[in-house]
Amino acid sequence: MAQLLDIMEIISASVRSSALTYAEFRELTDELLAQGRTTNEDNREEMLAYTRQNIQRMNKWDRILQLSDDSLLRLRGVGRPVVLLTLVEGWCGDVAQVLPVLDKIANANDRIELRIIFRDQHPEIMDAFLTNGTRAIPKVLVLDAESGQVLGTWGPRPSEAQAMVMDMKQTVQILPEEERADFRARSSEAMHAWYARDKGQRVQIEFLNTLMPLVRQEMSV
């Protein structure tokens, strides 16, 4: 579980009440794209193209993704009501791969609620939960549903995918400038190919490894 920063132990009620459901996030992303806009102020064609791809990815996972039997069994042990407050942007490829899994997890137990806020609208929250000093998303804050206390965090991606990102960042620094864009594009393709092969399994396992110690109840025999 990630180390929490003392300055952000409680997420305010106003933030929690204004956060979007998954369905609202999907609808808003579609509406903004139809207007030629992204979920933040970066409306370059490149970012719009990423958003289009992500909508297709989420549509696919919403349709075919299934939680494993082990995940469903583990989720039966959730006894504490929690909110999965997740920082996102619609153009982020990892968001499109992870968020549908979180939605399935939340739908599997009514004590779990998925809520979504945009990273660039909440810099004070994002900057309290950086990953290696960066504003990496998606970032999930597991909140006590009543108090808003941050119980734990997860993100932005499974460990194997995170290792791929770190390797890419190290490699791109030593490449000639003219080769970097092509390398980044190939690295992104490799990352999404990994997600496609994995089918959400590592997200389930690693996220539940963070969640369950925070919410577990004794199982009746």
Amino acid at 145: A
User: CATH homologous superfamily for 6-215?
Assistant: Glutaredoxin (3.40.30.10)
Burial of 121 (0-12, 13-18, 19+ CB in 10 A): middle
Tens digit of each residue's pLDDT (9 = 90 or more) over 16-49: 999 999 999 999 999 999 999 999 999 999 999 9
Q: Which has the closest alpha carbon to 8: 199, 205, 151, 168?
A: 151
pLDDT at 136 over 60: yes
Residue 138's alpha-carbon distances to 46, 94, 129, 157, in angstroms, are 20, 7, 11, 7
Average pLDDT, the chain: 92
Tens digit of each residue's pLDDT (9 = 90 or more) over 93-113: 999 999 999 999 999 999 999
What's the pLDDT at 172? Answer: 81
> What pTM, to 2 d.p., does this model score?
0.91
Domain boundaries, the chain: 6-215
pLDDT band at 183 (very low <50, low <70, confident <90, very high): confident
Average pLDDT over residues 3-16: 70
- The token pair at 178 is 């003219």
What's the pLDDT at 104? Answer: 98
pLDDT band at 210 (very low <50, low <70, confident <90, very high): very high
d(CA 84, CA 152): 10
